[in-house]
Structure 1
Amino acid sequence: MALTLSKALLILLSLAGFWTLWGFPYQNGLLKILGQQSEPGAVIPGPTVAPMKQTYTGIGVIDKQLTVLVSFFYTAIDGNRADVSLSFLYLGGQVLAAWVLIMVEGLRNGNRGKFFLTATTLFGVGVAIVGYACVAPLWFALHLWTSPTVVNPKDYQLDVDIPIKIAIAPISILVGFGLPSLLMCLPAPTVVSFETKQTWTGIQQGWSIWIGLTQFILSTLVLTIDQRASIQTENDKRLKSARYLRLAYAFAIISSAGSHLAAFSLSGLAYLFPVLFSATYLPQLQPAKIFVPVVPFGQPQVKILADGALWFLQWDIVVGVSASLLWSLTVRDASKHGKVTVTQTLIEVIKTILITALLGPCGAAAVAIWSRDERVLGKDKRT
């Protein structure tokens, strides 16, 4: 019953994602403003006047899509809107943490042959184009429907045939997602030109492709240098899978907690000690401005692109991370044997709330999947 309910809720969250990320932006005028960025003579969003870069690949449809994406994210990285930047930081940290969990699921033995679950690079392209809140809940729902690793999984189903790939995954994410993100945030025009900043922002939109390429290249290099990494006993695979999984989960937790604590700390400081902030950024950093999204119905209209970007990011966070946490808790609970008492359920709820408050929603998701793995893989037997 709980599993069926989670599947239904994830589908509903995906529908909510499509409305808040596409229906609502169409209604409030954000999509119209973004579309105008591809017109001749368009300038970058914000108070600075500089030409909008509109050619990236020479392929019209791709360049138009990249122009829209670059316009959207430029408002988060140009330093003029602290609320948009902080929301972007928060979302980035949560998605990065969730991506560790998604990549790990794609590598597990139990999910072999399930294209939708293992083609994480293609899934990431969908996230970049459509939005995390739209696509991720669908992936999570399909995982609950199709993966043998969900209900009473066996240890060999959670193992990875080549465990070193788990250890490489966080490195691939840092290179494929982190490096382009860092480069696109370099200030213009003091460090890079406006055109270069836009170019790096366009390159960053292919983050899942860069992660996939890095994972492939590093895995190939490791297996070429050490051929024993792909030839191990089943017991060695399980030992190393468990060891590398812990490292991957720790990386996910750090990613989530970093963005979570940074956002809440800065916003909390702005609320408690307003004298520390300039008159420009103080109103933008208030907790209500950062963490309370506008109601996605009625007649709220976007006057400037940054306002629409803030609403978009906020709903991407609310819907996307809720789906991530719901999925992880469902996976954790579905792996348990026997009945759970009301007291045990209450304790788990309190623990989840506290962990989420400390580590962020996707950090709590990593903790949930980690606890499932430790229980199934047999912590006492394999450490």
Structure 2
Amino acid sequence: MALTIPKILLILLSIAGFWTLWAFPYQNGLLKILSQQSEPGAVIPGPTAAPMKQTYTGIGPVDKQLTVLVSFFYTAIDGNRADVSLSFLYLGGQVLAAWVLITIESLRKGNQGKFILTATTLFGVGVAIVGYACAAPLWFALHLWLSPTVKDPKDYQLIVDVPVKLAIAPISILLGFGLPSLLMCLPAPTTVSFGTKQTWTGIQQGWAIWIGLAQFALTVVALSLDQRASILTEADKRAKTIKYLRRAYAFAIMCSAGSHLAAWSLSLLAYAFPVLFSSTYLPQLQPTRIFVPEVPFGSHKVSTLADGALPFLQWDIVVGVTATLLWGLTLRVAAKHEQTSPFQILAVAAKLGIVAIALGPCAAAAVALWIRDELVFKKQRTS
């Protein structure tokens, strides 16, 4: 596969992300509704008239941005809109899986010294602000342009100099992303107050920072407990990298599969056995309602934040996971040393498509990278 084609496609996907996550919400009125959440007397989205928290850090611009983000995500976690909540669950699992893959790439020896590819905390902040569908395709395109691990990679480029960082990465991601996400989903006011729920939702928006801090702290602890972990031989680095890569890829696949299977199972269950669901949630859980986004053009206006949040989340999923899967396919094909025919590319794409249907698109991307790594390490071992 000529790398020029996927690079262009990824840039186009980023443009599509900006349109569907910013231009379209401006047209349909979502951004206007979100801006009103920072006005005096605003209440949380939904039927409950609890006050909207508008102060988090004491820094005006930061608090205003957090108020907008909290308002948006609150409607996905308060339980009043099943379609929004299920779309949010699906997106969260896919982003979690993709973040494992992005973290792996940032740790590889071949990518060291390339700030854009290794500054994952800064990139994650950008994702939180502008959306995964906007930022991720750009990062993937830059990775294809800048990384020496893309075309005909060698095993010494794919290893991690300090493999323990790779072993720690899934734990850091769980602590920095997973834990705050669980805490912000605690029900209010039965378990936590409305104010506490909003506070945790605001804290969750800094997930990239918490992942970075957890990774740094756990690495320091691990190296202090085993100082030899930073002075391994090349053979040991290679062996440990392979071992920890397999665990990281398995973790990414589980994250993707968890949200993918949960969303599809609930939706198909509502379609096949409607008697099991209340009349309120049954229409919201239909497969077409969850997985088919509104066309991002036209003069349609939304009247509530939830009505605007649903297509926003759906397009974030469609554009973001498409970019992730395209990136994974490109890396898988580009790693082959011999000339690859269009038929072989289609065969690989078909196999990954089956994995995507069964376990989720980001699981398929993880499988693509996992196979790529195994092929490279095996070839270098036998050559």
Shift of 1:346: 3.9
Note the C-alpha offset of 1:139.
0.3
Distance 2:198 2:249 in 1: 33
> Which residue does 1:14 correspond to in 2?
14
> SS at the partner of 1:54?
coil
How far has the Cα of 1:352 moved from its partner?
1.4
1:347 Cα offset (Å):
2.8
Per-residue displacement from partner, 1:240-277 (whole Å, max 9, x unpaired)?
A: 00000000000000000000010000000000100010
Q: State the aligned residue count.
A: 382
What amino acid sits opposite 2:163 in the alignment?
Answer: P
Counterpart residue number, 1:210: 210
**Alignment correspondent of 1:94:** 94
Q: Specify the code of the residue in structure 2 equivalent to 1:315.
A: W
Matches within 5 A, 1:247-326: 247-326=247-326
Any residues of structure 2 matched to 1:36-115 within 5 Å, and which?
Answer: 36-115=36-115
* Letter matched to residue 148 of structure 1: P
Find the residue that maps to 1:378 and give its secondary structure.
helix
- Report the equivalent of 2:178: 178
Which structure 1 residue ranges, 5 or more long, are not aligned? none
In structure 1, the partner of 2:223 is: 223
Moved more, 21-30 or 372-381: 372-381
For 1:213 and 1:206, the matched residues in 2 are separated by 11
1:341, CA displacement in angstroms?
4.3
- After TM superposition, the structure 1 stretch with the greater mean CA deviation from structure 2, 338-347 or 70-79, is 338-347
Structure 1 match to 2:155: 155
Letter aligned with residue 121 of structure 1: T
Given the superposition, is the C-alpha separation of residues 210 and 379 from structure 1 closer, same or farther in structure 2, using an over 3 Å criterion? farther
Specify the alignment match of 2:190 in structure 1.
190
- Stretches of structure 2 that go unaligned for 5 or more consecutive residues are none
SS in 1 for 2:188: coil
Deviation at 1:380, TM superposition (A): 9.4
Q: Deviations over 1:88-121 (max 9, x none)?
A: 0000000000000000100000001100100000
- SS of corresponding position for 2:208: helix
The aligned amino acid for 1:93 is G
- The amino acid of 1:237's aligned partner reads K
SS at match of 1:10: helix
Contact 2:329/2:349 (CA < 8 Å) preserved in 1?
Answer: no
Q: Does structure 1 conserve the Cα–Cα contact (< 8 Å) formed by 2:154 and 2:380?
A: no
Supply the distance in 2 between the matched residues of 1:269 and 1:20 (Cα, whole angstroms): 29
Amino acid at match of 1:330: T
Aligned residue in 2 for 1:121? 121
After TM superposition, the score normalised by the length of structure 2 is: 0.98
**1:285 partner letter:** L
Q: Distance in 2 between matches of 1:2 and 1:359?
A: 28
TM-score, normalised with respect to structure 1: 0.98
Letter in 2 for 1:198: Q
Name the amino acid aligned to 1:196.
T
Bigger mean CA offset, 203-212 vs 371-380: 371-380
Q: 2 CA distance for matches of 1:69 and 1:250? A: 31
Partner SS state of residue 3, structure 2? helix
Structure 1 segment 234-249 matched on structure 2, within 5 A: 234-249=234-249
> Aligned letter for 1:352?
L
Cα-to-partner distance string for 1:325-348 (whole Å, 9 max, x where unaligned) = 001110111110113345534432
Large movers: runs of 4+ above 4 Å: 379-382
Distance 1:69 1:9 in 2: 29
Q: Which moved more, 1:141-150 or 1:335-344?
A: 335-344
What's the C-alpha RMSD, in Å, of the aligned pairs? 1.1
* Contact 2:155–2:380 (8 Å) recurs in 1: no
* Other structure's SS at 1:322 match: helix
Structure 1 residues 374 and 303, CA, compared in 2 at 3 Å: closer, same or farther?
same
- Cα shift at 1:351: 1.0
For residues 4-62 of structure 1, give each alpha carbon's deviation from its aligned partner in whole angstroms, at most 9, with x where no partner exists: 00000000000000000000000110000000000000000000110000000000000
* Deviation by residue 1:194-220 (Cα, 9 ceiling, x = unmatched): 000000000000000000000000000
SS in 1 for 2:294: coil
| Cα distance between partner residues in 1 of 2:219 and 2:90 | 30
What is the deviation of 1:350? 2.3
